[in-house]
Structures are given as C-alpha cells and as structure tokens.
Amino acid sequence: MRGIEELPVPAAVRMPVGRADKPSPIASLPEEAPLAAGQVLCTPEGDVPVVSPISGILEGTVVMQNSLYGSLLCADIQPEGERTDLLPVIPEDELTASVILDIAREAAVYDELDGSPLWQKLQRWQLPENDPAAKTCILVADATENDVYGSSAWAVLMEQPRLALFGLQMAARALRFSRYHIATMLPKRRRRTLKRAIGRENVYTVGDEYPVTVYADGDTEVYRIGIQACLALGRALKQGLRHTAAIVTVAGDGVPAARNMRVPFGTDLRALLSACQAESHVLPILGDAMTGVACDDLQTPILPGVTTVLAMKPRPIRVPKPCIGCGRCAAVCHAGLLPYEIVRRAENMHYERLQHLSPGDCDGCAVCSYVCPAGRDVAAEVLKAGETKGTMFLNWGEDDNE
C-alpha cells in the first residue's frame, strides 16, 4: 500500500460552478481575479459554497460538455501562488452540534461515499437532544475498500488517523450520537498499528467480503460517512482548511504502479493519468472495478465522490451467452434476490409478476455479473427491472408524463 502523494500542479483546474443553461453564479468575480485555495467562488442557495480548489488566477468561465456529467459551467483557474483562505478555528470545547454543522457547510466538506455534501447528511440524521435513540445509533467512518484496486481509505487511515478520528468524533457530536467507530478491513499488522494510534475501541474490523454489509455488532442502526469526509471535517475544525481535494487511488494494468494521489477537485483525468505515467489508449474507469463507470472523455474533472480511477487496457467485450441457470448469481446475492428469475421475467415482459421478486432491493454491487459464467450483465438487467413498475403499459404512461 502506497502513501499519499501530492499531484504536480496541473496546467488548469476547471471547477464546476453550475449548469450551463443557467446564468453564471460567479459573474460578480472580476476576470483574472487572484484566488486563494479554499476561497469561496459562489454559494448556491441551500447548498454548500463552491470553493476554489487551488491558489490561482480566475480566467473566466467555460462551458464543458461531458459524457458523464452533462453540460457544466466551470470556473477556469490557472495555478499561481500559494495563497490559502482559512476558516476561523474554534476551540474544541466550544464546538456544539450547530457550530459543527455550520463549519461542515462552510468548509464545503463532501462525503466521498456518494459525493453529497456532508452537512446535508448530518442535518438529516441529527437527533434531538437527549433522544434515547442515541444509544442504539452508531456513526461509522467507512474505511473499507470494496475493491481489489482501491487503497485510498487505507492511505488516509495510515497517514492521518488521529485527525480522521477527530473529524468522526465531531460528526458524532453534531448528530448527538454517543457511539462511533472506524470500520476497516486493513491487513492485520497495519490494523494493530492503527489500534495503537487511535485506540482499540475506535476500530471495527469488517469481514473480508464483497460487498461489506455488517459495519457494527449487535442490533444497532448504522449511519455511514466516508473516512475522507471525516478527515476533511477534522482539518476544517482543527486547521481551518476547506475541502478542496480528493484522495484518489490510480491503479489498473495501464499504469506502472498503483498510487494514492491528493487531487484538487476540478483536475481533469488527463492530468491525473499523465502524472501517474499511464499508457496511452487506456480506458479510464471512474470508481472501483465492480461498479465504476467507463469514461473515455479525458477532460472529465475529478469531483467529490471519486476515490478510485482505474486505467485499464482495452480488452474485448465478451459476447453474453444465454443463462444456463447455474444459480451462482442467486448464491452470491447479499440482498437474497433471484437475479436469474428477475432477468427472465423482465425479458419475457412479465412485469406484473416482477415486483414479487423485489428487484428494487438490488443495490447494484454487481457481484452477480462478476460470477456469471455466461458473461451476462446481470446487475444492469436487474437494476433496469427494478425501475419497472406494474405492467409495461404503466411504464409507458410514466414516460408520457415526463
């Protein structure tokens, strides 16, 4: 496992500030305005502020057509200087639930598990004071690696475990939870080092399985946030730093060695892959090997939610064969579904009988597609089936209403 390396300063960073069909929210900022890292560019209503990920000069706005994110309006920032815009640091004993929520919002902390702002999650999950449910709820910092290639969560834990734990403690304080821990599947030796650093009681070892389904013992209600979000919150509270970069594992057979890079948001894939000496003609995959999205647009920016980029050499796409009914998909489904039967009913347009099999319970972990000897994209078909409701005629009606 590699430590975290700093990405060499990219030629330009394009930070999305809004949609291309809406007026520019940063129109008030003058062209060629000097920006500090973490400086607020704009604050959309009811959302976290958009901050400059690097210290640089604002060159203006550009509209970027992206195959993944659609049409984005981006602030074009050229790197320059080493200015940093800091938040005021508040002593720990003055950090109440509302203060922590405010700072999580001001620092624009994102949760890498789904790319959503952390404060929104915390606000949603927050318990009233003296709620008895606080005893049965647990906040878990998810530092598991659900991927054979990924190691960014482990790198965070190895490099800054105390700061990450502090962030987790503060998030739990904001939620008024009394229980929290970091869930990880670190190898035994490193786990021992981690337990020595932050305390045995703060580390929970999850099973070596895919996908991880058990994050805590006993009958508890688990609330999960990412370990990078914990670190970002810890840095905001202790050092006044805003969340401006993601820690991304770059791996795959198209790079000489797997690396963990600290990548400012808005950096494009081309800059990241060239810094990792990726071969030309690789197919980048945003996300892990099981659920990631193939993305051949090298101008795609790294945004919150991306923790792994795989540079895979192109390989022939297997022609799917008919299901032979080996039942492996059902045997491995952690949601207890019958993927083969769902796919069969969807293929035969038995929509009215599809819902009995609860295809909506599929979380898209794709393990059924992985084990399928016929090479079928079972997970994609189940997810598609999960979107159907009632009969096909009802589905048509739904489309018409849109």
Q: Is 218 helix (H, G, I), strand (E, B) or coil?
A: coil
| Window contacting another protein (CB under 8 A); options: 7-15, 53-61, 70-78, 317-325 | 317-325
In terms of C-beta distances under 8 Å and separation of at least 24 residues, what long-range contacts does 322-328 make, across chains too? Answer: 322/374, 323/372, 323/374, 323/376, 324/373, 324/374, 326/373, 328/368, 328/371, 328/372, 328/373
Give the residue carrying structure tokens 């609860």. Answer: 358
Residues in the chain: 402
The helix (H) or strand (E) run that includes residue 101 is helix 97-106
**Options 375, 394, 396, 398; binder of another protein; rule CB under 8 A:** 375
Binding mask 97-136 for another protein (x = CB under 8 A): ----------------------------------------
Q: Give the footprint of another protein on residues 285-314 (CB under 8 A).
A: 285, 287, 289-294, 296, 310, 312
Rule CB under 8 A: is residue 145 a binding residue for another protein?
no
Binding mask 147-186 for another protein (x = CB under 8 A): -x--------------------------------------
Q: How many whole angstroms separate alpha carbon 174 and alpha carbon 119?
A: 9
Degrees to nearest 5, angle at CA 389 with 388 and 391: 95
Cβ proximity to another protein, 56 vs 254, nearer residue: 254
Rule CB under 8 A: is residue 37 a binding residue for another protein?
no
Q: Provide, rounded to whole angstroms, the least separation between the CB of residue 91 and another protein.
A: 40
Rule CB under 8 A: is residue 70 a binding residue for another protein?
no
Residue (of 239, 283, 347, 306) closest to 69 by Cα position: 306
Give the residue carrying structure tokens 């405010």. Answer: 102
Give the tokens for residue 275. 């810094």
Binding mask 207-246 for another protein (x = CB under 8 A): ------------x---------------------------
Rule CB under 8 A: is residue 366 a binding residue for another protein?
yes
Give the Å distances, CA to CA, from 7 to 55, 58, 265, 354: 14, 20, 11, 48
Binding site for another protein (CB under 8 A): 148, 219, 283, 285, 287, 289-294, 296, 310, 312, 315, 317-318, 321-327, 329-331, 336, 338, 340-341, 356-357, 366-367, 369-375, 377, 379-380
